[in-house]
Each structure stands twice: as structure tokens, then as C-alpha cells.
Copies of this chain bind each other. A is one copy, B any other.
Amino acid sequence: MSTLVQSESTRITPVIILVRPQMGENIGTAARAMLNCGLTEMRLVAPRDGWPNERAFPTASGADCVLERASVFENATDAVSDLHRVFATTARTRDIAKPVLTPRDAAPQMMNAIGDGQKVGILFGAERSGLDNDEVALADTILTFPLNPDFMSLNLAQAILLVAYEWRMFTEEAAEIAAANSAAMRSGRGQELATKEDLEGLFIHLEEDLEEAGFFVVEEKRGRMVRNIRAAFQRARMTDQEVRTWRGIIKALSGIRRRKNPPQL
């Protein structure tokens, strides 16, 4: 069964790792933000006031199951040791040579990694100090929030909420597309998000046919036009079934032209 069509309770989700959290109340609101989006696995690295902490429960507003299952680690290295793919949230841009993504762009990567059987975790720093450089260095990818550059002030629970929300929005949409395709097709295919390779195949197919059709009249504009066309497809976040449909569309349309004007070779 595809990971896309698992039920709510059995779905594998990213692990949320709070590094050196201070106030118990904030651990509670973090749990609440997580469970709103269906995330249940919390890890705590060296919580200042120890763990368990009574003060976390009232602010969790009923997300007790997240707190009760939280595991505690001495340091961030131990907390990520069993993970395959680690993201680190930072407010500032740092001089670290790692890819930087928004939560929205990271969600498909998290889902693809989990779909490949990998364990995914996201590091969040302490309330004021954030993650230190050694902790950021544990991550493959940096997450930043594309918010108001004149006022960026997310608290811990809000930062978690936005990352978890994008995860949920993306996986729910993917599950809906998969369910729609699955109900219609019953073919066992077409239920996965298209891979980069699928998309690249589609782009090259389209660009070759456009070349043949004489679409790129002005050679200097070609690069920009290709980028714009690719960008629209990328925003559409298609399944592999949809990519196949689009290849069929291109083939069908080009077939009309070629019948009328056979390509001169």
C-alpha cells in the first residue's frame, strides 16, 4: 500500500525535535500545534526543567498523548542518530553551505523521503537562542519562514505549527489526488507524487516538440520561456499519473501538426 493512502492513525510522519526547550508551557503548546496537524512523535533534547514537566500539560489542551510519548535525549546528536533526513529551522540566514527551503517546499521532500522508508526529523531551537551552529550542522537542509522581513517573530509553537501545517496540507492533497486516481484507475499505479525524473522527462518531451514546432522564435528568450513553463508545472505538484496524462496530451497535439506538416529532417 502506498504511504499516500494510509489512514490517519497509521501514517508515518516527521519527528519534531525541541532542542533545549525552556518553559514547560511551551512544550505543551508545541504538542498542541503538532497534534492539530496529525504529528505525534516529539523528542526533547536536554529540557531545562527536566522531563516529565507538569507545566506542559495544561497548555497542551488535550494533546497529552504527544507529551506522554515524548522521548528525552542528552544532546541533539543523539536525538537525530536514527534519522535519515534532518531539517533545521532557523530565523537567520547563516553562512552554511546547505540547501535552504521554505516549509512549503520542504513538505514534498519530507513525504518522498518517508515514502522511501526514511525517518525524517525537524530540529527547533530554544525559545530565544535558537539552534547553535553545531546543531544546525546536523541537518541536511535548512528551513526558513518566508514571512515579513521587517517583523519575523514566531514563537516555538507557531514555528512548529507552520511546518506541521505545510506537511499536513501537502500530504492531504497528495492523498486526495491518490484516492481520486485510485478510485478511477484501480491500476495500482498513478498514486505517487511525480519524481524529478518523471518531470524532467515531461519537460524534455515538451521542449523537443516545441522546438520542432518552431515555438522558440527568438533564441534569446528561449531560456526564460523554458523556465516559466517548467515553473508552472512544478507549482502544480503532479502525480506520476498526471505526468503520463500530460505526455499523452503533448503526443496527441503534436500528432495533429505532424499529420498536416510532416517534419522535414
Residues of A participating in the B interface, judged by any CB pair closer than 8 Å:
8, 32-33, 35-38, 61-63, 104, 146-155, 157-158, 161-162, 165, 168-169, 172, 180-181, 184, 206, 209-210, 212-215, 224-225, 228-229, 232-233, 235-238, 242, 245-246, 248-250, 252-257, 260-261
Contact = CB atoms under 8 A, between A and B. Distances in A.
A157 B32 CA distance: 13
Given A172-B146, A210-B253, A245 B260 contact: no
Nearest to A238: B232
A248 B257 CA distance: 14
Given A165-B165, A225-B245, 9 more contacts: A36-B158, A62-B153, A146-B168, A158-B158, A162-B165, A184-B224, A209-B256, A214-B252, A255-B256
Nearest to A157: B158
B37 A249 contact: no
Copies in the complex: 2
20 contacts: A36-B152, A36-B154, A36-B158, A38-B148, A61-B153, A146-B168, A146-B169, A147-B165, A181-B228, A212-B256, A214-B252, A215-B248, A229-B249, A232-B242, A232-B246, A235-B235, A236-B236, A253-B254, A253-B257, A254-B254
Given A169-B104, A254-B257, A153 B210 contact: no
Contact of A63 (B8, B63, B153, B158): B153
Nearest to A148: B38
Nearest to A165: B162
A148 B36 contact: yes
B8 A150 contact: yes
Contacts of A168: 146-148
A46 to B, nearest CB: 25
